[in-house]
Amino acid sequence: MQRILLDTDPGVDDAQAILMATAHAGSQVEAIFTVGGNVGIEHTTRNALTIVEAIGQDIPVFAGCESALVFEGEDAAWVHGNDGLGDANLVPQSRQVETEFAPTALLRMVTAEPDAFTLVAIGPLTNIALALRMDPTLPSKIKRFVVMGGAVTARGNTSNVAAEFNIFADPEAAHVVFEAWGKAGKLIELVDWEATVRYGIPFEKVAEWRALGTKRSTFFDTVSNRSFDRPSLTEGRTKMFAADPLALAVVIEPDCVTHAEDRFVMVETGGTYSRGQTVVDWDSRLKQEPNARIILKVKAERFFQLFEDGLK
C-alpha cells in the first residue's frame, strides 16, 4: 500500500486528483496539507474538507501557509471560481480542520516513519519549503516526492509566459525545494505543464464521465462544470487540461510512465519575464547532479482510465 501525504490548493483539478488517489486500491491518502494558491487558504482548506466529506474517507486536513514566502503571487480564481471549487458554494457539513500547522504535521509524520511516505505537491511549494527550513533533512525522510509544476521548455501558463502557476506563485519556495532535493542527491518526479497539455483529455470523454451518474462523478461535474463553460478555458481547445490528475496518475501507477529523463533543474526567482521559470540543464552543461526526473511520456489511455476510476 502506497502511503500518500498530499500538499494541495484545491482547486478544481486538485479535487479531481484527490478523487483518483482515494479510489485507487494500492494507495492511501493519509493526510492533506492545504496551501494558498489557486485561491486563499480559507477556501483551499474549506474545499479540502468538502472533498474529504464528499468521498467519505476519514483523512485529516491540516492548514498550511496562507501566502508565498516572500512576494504575494497571483491567484487562479479565474480558472477555479472565487471559492476555488467552481463557485458551487459547497461547504463541509461537519468536518473540522486539524489544529496542527501543516508543515509541522508533515515533519512529525515523516520523522516518526522515515522512508514510509510518498509526498505529493500539487500546489505552490510554500509548505514544503517551510518544512525544509525547519528540518533540512526532510528529503532523506521521504520515499518518493512527486511535484506538479514547472514548464520544462518554458511554455508556461501564467502572465510570465515561461512560468507555470505552482512555481510562479512562490518561486522562492520552489528554489528552496529543488535546491534541497539536489543537495540530498534525491530526485523530484516532475510532472510539468507541458506534459499536461500533451496529455489533455478529449472533451467527449469528459462528457461521458460527467454523465456516469455516480456520487463521485456528480461531485466532479458539480465542481468542474464552471470550467467546462468558460470560453477562456475551452475556446479553440478540444481537450481538458488536467494537471494535478496527471501528477496523481504518476503517483498511483508509476508504470504508466514510458519515458522520463533525469536533469538538473533551477528555478529563476528574478527577471522581468522569467521569474518562476524552471530552467532545465538539458545538455548537462553545468555538470550538476540531476535533482529532477522529468516525466515526458505516459500511457495516455491508462491515465484516462485512472481518472475515470476515480469517478466510479
| Interacting span for ligand RIB (CB under 6 A) from 20-28, 48-56, 129-137, 157-165 | 157-165
Q: Indicate which single residue of 38, 118, 160, 217 sits in contact with ligand RIB (rule: CB under 6 A).
A: 38
Query: Could you identify the residue written with the cell 506534459?
Result: 195
Q: Name every residue whose Cβ is closer than 8 Å to that of residue 217 and which is 6 or more positions away in sequence.
A: 209, 210, 211, 311, 312
Residue count, binding to ligand RIB (CB under 6 A): 17
Query: Could you identify the residue written with the cell 529543488?
Result: 178
Q: Indicate which single residue of 22, 166, 224, 277 sits in contact with ligand RIB (rule: CB under 6 A).
A: 166
Identify the H or E element spanning 191: strand 188-191
Would you call 117 helix, strand, or coil by DSSP? strand
The C-alpha cell at 207 is 462528457
**264 to 303: interface string for ligand RIB, x by CB under 6 A:** ----------------------------------------
- 11 is an interface residue for ligand RIB by CB under 6 A: yes
**Residue 193 binds which of Ca ion, ligand RIB, none (CB < 5-8 A, kind-dependent):** ligand RIB
**Residue 278 binds which of ligand RIB, Ca ion, none (CB < 5-8 A, kind-dependent):** none
Dihedral sign computed on CA atoms, order 16, 276, 272, 39: positive
- 157 is an interface residue for ligand RIB by CB under 6 A: yes
- Give the C-alpha separation, 158 to 151, whole Å: 11
**Residue 76 binds which of Ca ion, ligand RIB, none (CB < 5-8 A, kind-dependent):** ligand RIB
Burial status of residue 274 (CB atoms within 10 A of its CB: 0-12, 13-18, 19 or more): middle
Q: Tell me whether residue 14 or residue 221 sits nearer to Ca ion (CB atom).
A: 14
Burial status of residue 61 (CB atoms within 10 A of its CB: 0-12, 13-18, 19 or more): buried
- 148 is an interface residue for ligand RIB by CB under 6 A: yes
- 7 is an interface residue for ligand RIB by CB under 6 A: no
Q: Indicate which single residue of 63, 76, 174, 201 sits in contact with ligand RIB (rule: CB under 6 A).
A: 76
Q: How far apart are the first and last CA of the chain?
A: 20
**How far is the CA of 13 from the CAs of 140, 213, 307, in angstroms?**
29, 20, 11
Q: Tell me whether residue 148 or residue 152 sits nearer to ligand RIB (CB atom).
A: 148
Would you call 70 helix, strand, or coil by DSSP? coil
Q: Tell me whether residue 9 or residue 83 sits nearer to Ca ion (CB atom).
A: 9
Nearest residue to the partner ligand RIB, using Cβ:
165
Is 77 within 8 Å of 226 (Cβ atoms)? no
Q: Indicate which single residue of 244, 253, 268, 308 sits in contact with ligand RIB (rule: CB under 6 A).
A: 244
**Can you give the binding site for Ca ion, defined by CB under 5 A?**
9, 11, 14, 122-123, 244
**Residue 164 binds which of ligand RIB, Ca ion, none (CB < 5-8 A, kind-dependent):** ligand RIB
Residues that bind ligand RIB (CB under 6 A): 9, 11, 13-14, 37-38, 76, 122-123, 148, 157, 164-166, 193, 243-244
